[in-house]
Amino acid sequence: MPMCTTFHRSFLLPVVVVAIAMTATNVPAQNNSPEAPLMAYVGTFSSPLKDMLPTQVDLPPGNGLGIHLFHVDRKTGAMTPAGVHRMGTSPSCLALSADGTRMYSTNETDRVGGTKEGSVTAFEVDSKDGKLKPLNTVPSGGAGPTYASIHPSGRFLLVANYFGGTVSVLPIQPNGSLGEATDIKIDAGKIGPTTATNAPPGSFAFSGHDRTHAHMIEADPSGQFVLHADLGLDQILIWKFDDKTGKLSPNDPPFVSLPPGDGPRHFHFHPNGKWFYSIQEEGSTLVLFDFDAKTGSLTERQTISTLPPDFKGSNFCSEILVSSDGKFVYAGNRLHDSIGIFAVGANGELSHVDDEWTRGNYPRSFNFDPTGQFLYSCNQRADNIAIFKVDRSTGRLNFTGKYAAVGNPSIIVFRDLAK
């Protein structure tokens, strides 16, 4: 739950390239596997380098060193350190291109130099050793960029700026670098209450109902529509997207509302493209929507708690993932420190299967390896990533007994060097 910062509209000025102080210390580790290595990249909350302005984005801040690289054992899931690309700007979200040759990091600061906004960095990924080579860094279009995704066309990066309450579209150049924003939208509307409608009994969960907070942005599978969650507005906004100009225009209807105070954070499409699942940070709920691919509209159909039936107290939801086979949905719970596991029924509705302890506190996000055999939980306040074996038939998670040490991990993505 990011801290609130003061917001200025300096991002409306022409966009200029911003230089970020960073150094690469990628030290290859031994990999004895006869197969081509699988790399993992972990984005973190990191302390500013000595020549940068102080920043504080999340609590506890600063234990990460930038983007941490690992070799991954395909059979056991174990992670072996393979170096660090040092960055002092909290690269908290990483987006990898479909071919694995480019990576983009949101640098979740609220100012760079004298500019009241964050930035995004583009990298080239070495196909042989997985090391990162910075291409350029540009302003993100608002303070505290917390999420980025690549449009299905591969020609645009979509960015959600949490502290700024804005979303932006950044064109991806032929060489993978980023251009000036083609569009920036400022969220506006009535802020929801500080008490969530669906909060568990006794909950004091409050994070983002002080102003607008764009928390996630992603296109639908066709790329015709772009959706983004604003936690403070309790809305998922829907945009039509022009992939020739990189412009967003309001859909009809332009948004769908969640219960007041529940705070939509992240969402994930089912592989069939028809079912859309949203997780609410303060309400601790999952909501199933039917998505109309022709009109871009969302129709709510089910709400279910992410927590055990007898849970009482405060909880902050984080990540949501649908398994690649579409059979299960996984929901992150911070403070309860669990991953809720839900089976997907024939009509898309969810039923609770189990809750797995994350073996560390405050799981900010989690992800599957490319095969779906293992799940990796980024336990932000435990400074570790816990590794679980996935039972593909039941959806349950079995702890492998393996961890990776990473300061304030925020996200993990994978790159198969065989590709």
Cα pseudo-dihedral 90, 105, 141, 53, rounded to 10: 30
Round the CA-based radius of gyration of the chain to a whole number and report it: 20
**Residue 259 vs residues 1, 340, 354: alpha-carbon distances, Å:** 19, 21, 25
**Which pLDDT value is given to residue 29?**
38
Residues 40-80: pLDDT tens digits?
999 999 987 644 444 444 444 589 999 999 999 999 999 99
**Residue 220 vs residues 184, 271, 273: alpha-carbon distances, Å:** 19, 11, 8
Q: What is the mean pLDDT of residues 280-298?
A: 98
Residue percentage of the chain with pLDDT more than 70: 87
Of the ranges 12-26, 187-201, 300-314, which one carries the lowest mean pLDDT score? 12-26
**Which pLDDT value is given to residue 109?**
82
Q: Per-domain residue ranges for the chain?
A: 139-407
Contacts of 203 (CB under 8 A, 6+ apart): 196, 282, 284, 312, 313, 314, 315
- Number of C-beta neighbours around residue 53 at 10 A: 12
Cα separation of 410 and 107, whole Å? 12
What is the Cβ-side half-sphere exposure of residue 380, based on CA atoms within 13 angstroms? 28
Inter-residue contact 142 to 184 (CB < 8 Å): yes
pTM above 0.75, yes or no: yes
**Which pLDDT value is given to residue 278?**
99
Of the ranges 102-111, 212-221, 272-281, 393-402, which one carries the lowest mean pLDDT score? 102-111
Q: Find the length of the chain.
A: 419
**Which pLDDT value is given to residue 256?**
98
CA quadruple 382, 383, 389, 394: dihedral positive or negative? positive
Grade residue 410 by pLDDT with cuts at 50, 70 and 90: very high
Q: What angle do CA 401, 324, 381 make, to 5 degrees?
A: 40
Contacts of 174 (CB under 8 A, 6+ apart): none
Residues 325-360: pLDDT tens digits?
999 999 999 999 999 999 999 999 999 999 999 999
Cα separation of 391 and 397, whole Å? 6
Using the predicted structure, report yes or no on whether residue 18 has a pLDDT greater than 50: no
- CATH number attached to the domain at 139-407: 2.130.10.10
Cα separation of 138 and 388, whole Å? 36
Q: What is the mean pLDDT of residues 179-194?
A: 97
Cα separation of 323 and 58, whole Å? 29
Grade residue 27 by pLDDT with cuts at 50, 70 and 90: very low
Which residues of 231-369 form beta strands (DSSP E)? 235-242, 247-257, 264-269, 275-280, 285-291, 298-305, 316-322, 328-334, 338-344, 350-357, 363-368
Using the predicted structure, report yes or no on whether residue 28 has a pLDDT greater than 70: no
Residue percentage of the chain with pLDDT more than 90: 84
Contacts of 34 (CB under 8 A, 6+ apart): none
Cα separation of 334 and 1, whole Å? 10
Q: What are 368-376's contacts with CB under 8 Å, separation 24+?
A: 368/321, 368/323, 368/324, 369/38, 369/72, 369/74, 369/77, 369/414, 370/38, 370/414, 370/416, 371/74, 372/323, 372/324, 372/325, 373/77, 374/77, 374/400, 375/330, 375/339, 376/40, 376/77, 376/79, 376/412
Q: What is the rounded average pLDDT for all residues in the chain? A: 90
CA quadruple 348, 351, 357, 361: dihedral positive or negative? positive
Top-ranked range on mean pLDDT: pick from 20-34, 52-66, 251-265: 251-265
Cα separation of 26 and 299, whole Å? 47
Grade residue 36 by pLDDT with cuts at 50, 70 and 90: confident
Residues 365-407: pLDDT tens digits?
999 999 999 999 999 999 999 999 999 999 999 999 999 999 9
Using the predicted structure, report yes or no on whether residue 151 has a pLDDT greater than 90: yes
Cα separation of 229 and 6, whole Å? 20
Q: Which residues pair with 18 in a beta bridge?
A: none
**Which pLDDT value is given to residue 2?**
43
**Which pLDDT value is given to residue 115?**
73
Using the predicted structure, report yes or no on whether residue 182 has a pLDDT greater than 60: yes
Using the predicted structure, report yes or no on whether residue 10 has a pLDDT greater than 70: no
Q: What is the mean pLDDT of residues 90-114?
A: 90
Grade residue 116 by pLDDT with cuts at 50, 70 and 90: confident
Residue whose entry in the numeric block shows the structure tokens 């007994």: 401
Cα separation of 46 and 61, whole Å? 7
Q: What is the mean pLDDT of residues 141-146?
A: 95
